[in-house]
Amino acid sequence: DRGDRGDQGDRDTQNKQPVAAGKEDAIACAQWSAIYGQDEAKQAALIAATGLHNLLLMGPPGVGKSMIAHSLNGLMPSLAPSQSREVQSIHALSGSGGSAGSIALRPDARLPCLPPFRAPHHTASAVALVGGGQPVIPGEVSLAHRGVLFLDELPEFGRSSLEALREPLETGEVHVVRMRTRLSLPARALLVGAMNPCPCGYYGASSGPKHCHCSSEQVQRYRMRLSGPLLDRFDLALLLSRQSPSAITRPAPADSDAAGLYKATRLRIQRARQRAEDRQGCANAHLTPEQLLAQAGLFSEQARYLLRQFMNASGNSLRVHDRLLRVALTVADLEEAATVEPAHMAKAIEMRRGLDRPDAIKALA
Confidence of residue 245 (pLDDT cuts 50, 70, 90): low
From the list 150, 94, 173, 161, the residue with the least C-alpha distance to 127 is 161
Mean pLDDT of the chain: 83
* 251 alpha-carbon distance from chain centroid: 29
Q: Is 87 exposed, middle or buried (0-12, 13-18, 19+ CB in 10 A)?
A: buried
pLDDT of residue 148: 97
Q: Which has the higher per-residue pLDDT, 7 or 85?
A: 85
* Cross-strand pairs, 151: 193
For the segment 111-170, what is each residue's pLDDT rounded down to a tens digit? 557 899 999 999 999 999 999 877 788 999 999 999 999 999 999 999 999 999 999 999
Say if CB 237 and CB 352 are below 8 A apart. Answer: yes
* pLDDT for the residue 359: 43
Q: Which long-range contacts (CB under 8 A, 24 or more apart) does 270-277 make?
A: 270/19, 270/77, 271/336, 272/50, 272/51, 272/330, 272/333, 272/334, 272/336, 273/50, 273/51, 273/77, 273/333, 275/333, 275/336, 276/51, 276/329, 276/330, 276/333, 277/4, 277/5
Greatest alpha-carbon pair distance for the chain in Å reads: 61
Percent of the chain surpassing pLDDT 90:
53
Quick one: pLDDT at residue 107?
45
207 φ, ψ to 5°? -145, 170
- For residues 330 and 52, what is the distance between their CA atoms, to the nearest angstrom? 9
Which one has a higher pLDDT value, 145 or 107?
145
Q: Which of 1-5, 115-119, 258-262 has the highest mean pLDDT?
A: 115-119
Mean pLDDT of 167-196: 89
Element (H, E) at 138: strand 137-138
According to the model, what pLDDT value does residue 338 have? Answer: 95
pLDDT tens column, 308-364: 999 999 888 899 999 999 999 999 999 999 999 999 999 999 999 888 644 433 333
Domains (range + CATH), the chain: 2-249 (3.40.50.300), 283-357 (1.10.8)
Q: For residue 111, what pLDDT is reported?
A: 58
Q: Which residues contact 116 (CB under 8 A, 6 or more apart)?
A: 73, 87, 91, 102, 103, 143, 144, 145, 146, 147, 148
Task: Say how far apart CA 318 and CA 276 lie, in whole Å.
Answer: 23
**What is the per-residue pLDDT for 355?**
80
Residue 252 — pLDDT band, cuts 50, 70, 90?
Answer: low
pTM of this structure = 0.84
**Buried (b) or exposed (e) across 328-359, using 16+ Cβ within 10 A?**
bbbbbbbeebeebbbbbbbbbbebbebbbeee
State mean pLDDT over 242-252.
62
